[in-house]
Structure 1
Amino acid sequence: MEWAESATRSVHATWAVTFVSFLFLVLKLGVRYRVTRSLGWDDFFVVASWIVTLPLALVINFQAAHGMGHHSKELSTEDLSAQTRWFWASIWVYLLALGLSKMSILLQYHRIFVGKRTVLTIKLTFAFIVMWTTQAVLVSILQCVPVESFWDRSMKGKCINAVASYYANASLNILTDFIIIGLPIPVLNQLHISSGQRFGLAFAFAIGGAGCIISLVRLSTVANALKKGDPGYANSEPSMWSAIEVSVCIICACLPSLRPLLVRLMAAVGITSSRDATSHPSHIRSRIAQRNWGNSAGVDRLGSGKDMVDIDELELQDSKDQRIKIDTTVEVTSTMESSRQSRKSEGGESNDALVPDGRWYQAQVSNGR
């Protein structure tokens, strides 16, 4: 049958954002392998999330092919049953893909941050999201017993309150979004860095705010669809925003790992940070750019806590067993002017005493944080 205009728009948007998220995923994996020659658990989870996103795009496509966007009374029994069956699949596939992408972000946080309170919060949040995702997927699959009664109206079955389930999942989804956004903030607030550098880090870690906005938009479209009482007719927009939300979450999981690529691209076109441009000669800046490319997490160095540490002196390490580490180099200079002290001896001869030359002392202090 002919596709509804809203369904066509939903399918096009779904495949577009799925493709964009794939590009970010390829870049993330490429940079990670280029830097560390290995992949972490966060990489595997974001790959799993994107793989699950493909069935989500397909089931939205199948819904459109079976009349999504048309009123139920306009559809044949076969089309209505098929559309409802694919709608059932889209619910739990969406929840699974979303949960995996959030787990990937938290695993990335766990790899980077080492503060005891931060790590504990990350672990608790991860455990909560694992439990929430598991129950949400199972409840969505088994919301009707037998399962076939969800789309086959000729079968008698018992179903849960679907509206209450949708709102509960959406609320917990938004709550976890805000928790994930807030986790890096205490760490970033302790860094003694420029506003531009702080903004860049905040953007990389907290761009999940876009996911919160999309979650709220999706919730409003779901509420609107439920009010209309014809889910198949009104499901085009919720389906589209579900796909957008998952893809944006995948992009958020990829962004922090892409800073080495961005630094290298900026260096290639002659754009450097104000500090590098003013405090290093050109040949030193070239080595800085090379170092930034080899820096595993993409943030070359930061400052933190009580000690003023330069942006070049804190490194977000991506390699195994290395996380945020502060390397502070302290130079202690002992300078004494060489002077001659003339003292008259009893015999009237001068006796010269030379004060020892100053020496340079350098201490390398490494503080794990």
Structure 2
Amino acid sequence: MIRGSQSYSLLGWIISFIIICSIFVLLRFWSSRIQKRKFYADDFLVLLAHIAMIAMAGVTIWGIVNGLGNPATELSIDEFKVMAQVLVGASVTWTVSTTVVKMAVLWLYTRIFDVVIFRRIAYGLIGVCACYGVAFEIVFITRCNPVSQEWDPVPWGSCKDPKETQLASNSINLVLDVAIVVLPMIPLWSLQMALTKKLVITGMFGFGFATVAVMLYRVYVTVHANPDPALALADVGLLSFIELWLGIIVACVPTTAPVFRTYVKPTLFKALSQFCGYSRKTISNPIETTGGSGKASGGRSGHHHNFRSNRDYAELSIASTFDSRRSSDISLVPPSGAKTRTHCGPGGVVGSPGLQGGVYVEQQFHVQELGNNNRIR
């Protein structure tokens, strides 16, 4: 039964961040759906890391129900046995999650940066992470001989000091985290890109330094562990969770731009426009044409077939037509004297939420009345 303020606090952290991380994972896959792209290896790796984190949460909640977060003097013998089992289960699931989320971030790098030497380094680090994960899975599982020695001891059994294995794991993990955060900075700042964009992207990737800070503090807590083993397990467990939560969020943030660009940004723009009393003016030609949604000026509008229009953009199909002969109220110069300016953009552009796929076109026609030099835009 759950008891004690620290137990409830740990439970609150776990439930809150399971929800937050799940939202980011869903946004990641929602973005891939908007882009209509295939799933990449880093998508599956993030999903696996999330599942392993949830498994670790389940093991930890089982420990909380059995007294995790309370002083050892308040635990029964059976609850002590559960603590030993929680230590093994949480170590195994944490190793899977932290290893896989690192590999996901590195795999994402290989898709973002098309530099040969950079990609080789990223693939090399993926291999190092995989070796780290396999090695420490074996270390954590075989810390006791037999594995059940801590909760079901036998006379010939033995266990290693858990602090040694945790320090070794945390130290290597810290080095890998620093390498992963620093790796994209050099190719990023060598790109021909606006300074503001570089700063934004640097901040996005640099968010991984928060994970490094957590790992540094975790090493400190491991060295200066609480003498009470039950309380020490709760302290280290929370820091382990924070590292995983931040890692999953960092891995998902760079992939969620399509959702924010397609849905969040237009909504914010609309809200700010209403608040400030600003009304957006259309850019397209006021003469209604294929590719524009403005009202006709000086004549009947042309006919549009088989396309969906939204504000300044229209999704064109092969059968889209425009019959200029129906605009008889304005006499036009021969086609050789007309000028057309066309702007194209990919599906899901800002200003046309809900329209995905295809190519969106805005056209500006420069026409001239017969006998008059004034131009109508």
Quick check: TM above 0.5?
yes
Does residue 291 (structure 1) correspond to residue 346 (structure 2)? The answer is yes
Go from structure 1 to structure 2 and tell me whether the alpha carbon gap of 1:84 and 1:99 turns closer, same or farther (over 3 Å shift): same
Map 1:61-100 to 2 at 5 A.
Answer: 61-100=61-100
2:5 corresponds in structure 1 to: 5
- Match status 1:18 vs 2:18: yes
Distance 1:255 1:269 in 2: 19
- CA deviations on 1:95-122 (whole Å, 9 max, x unpaired) are 1111111111111111222211101110
Task: Give the match for residue 173 of structure 1.
Answer: 173
- Taking structure 2 as the reference length, the TM-score comes to 0.70
What is the CA distance between 1:184 and its match in structure 2?
A: 0.9
Gaps spanning 5+ residues in structure 2: where? 271-281, 285-291, 293-310, 314-342, 351-377
Please show how residues 177-196 of structure 1 align to structure 2 within 5 Å: 177-196=177-196
Aligned match of 1:143: 143
Question: How far apart in 2 are the matches of 1:282 and 1:161?
Answer: 70
Following superposition, the deviation at residue 202 of structure 1 comes to: 1.3
What do residues 3-58 of structure 1 show as CA deviations (whole Å, max 9, x unaligned)? 22112211210121111010000000110122034211100010011011111111
Number of residue pairs matched? 285
| Aligned-partner SS, 2:67 | coil
2:257 is matched with: 259
* Distance (whole Å) between structure 1 residues aligned to residue 187 and residue 283 of structure 2: 32
Match of 1:318 in 2: none
CA 1:157–1:31 in 2, change beyond 3 Å: closer, same or farther?
same
Q: Provide the C-alpha distance between the structure 1 equivalents of 2:283 and 2:349, rounded to a whole number of angstroms.
A: 19
Query: Which structure: greater helix fraction?
Result: 1
Is 1:111–2:166 an aligned residue pair?
no
* Pair 294,101 (structure 1): closer, same or farther in 2 beyond 3 Å: farther
Counterpart in 2 of 1:101? 101
Q: CA deviation at 1:293?
A: 4.0
Q: Within the alignment, does 1:244 sit opposite 2:242 as a pair?
A: yes
How far 1:204 moved relative to its partner?
Answer: 2.5
Given that 1:214 and 1:241 are in contact with CA atoms closer than 8 Å, whether structure 2 keeps it comes out as yes
Write the deviation string for residues 35-90 of structure 1: whole angstroms up to 9, x where unpaired: 03421110001001101111111111111111222232322111111121112211
Structure possessing the higher relative contact order (Cα contacts under 8 Å, 6 or more residues apart) = 1
- Secondary structure at the counterpart of residue 191 of structure 1: coil
Q: CA deviation at 1:159?
A: 2.3
Distance across 1 between alignment mates of 2:344 and 2:205: 22
Equivalent residue, structure 2, for 1:51: 51
* 1:269 equivalent in structure 2: 268
Q: 1:293 to 1:142 in 2, by over 3 A?
A: farther
Letter in 1 for 2:255: S
Corresponding residue number in structure 2 for 1:321: none
- Find the residue that maps to 2:70 and give its secondary structure: coil
Distance in 2 (alpha carbons) for counterparts of 1:293 and 1:178: 36
Residues 267/191 of structure 1: CA separation in 2 closer, same or farther (3 Å cut): farther
Distance 1:286 1:210 in 2: 42
Which amino acid counterpart does residue 28 of structure 1 have in structure 2? R
Question: Could you list the runs of 5+ residues in structure 1 that have no partner in the other structure?
Answer: 272-280, 296-369
Write the distance in 2 (CA, Å) between the matches of 1:286 and 1:103: 42
Partner Cα distance (1:294, 1:104) in 2 = 28
Other-structure match for 1:234: 232
Contact preservation (8 Å) 1:4, 1:64: no
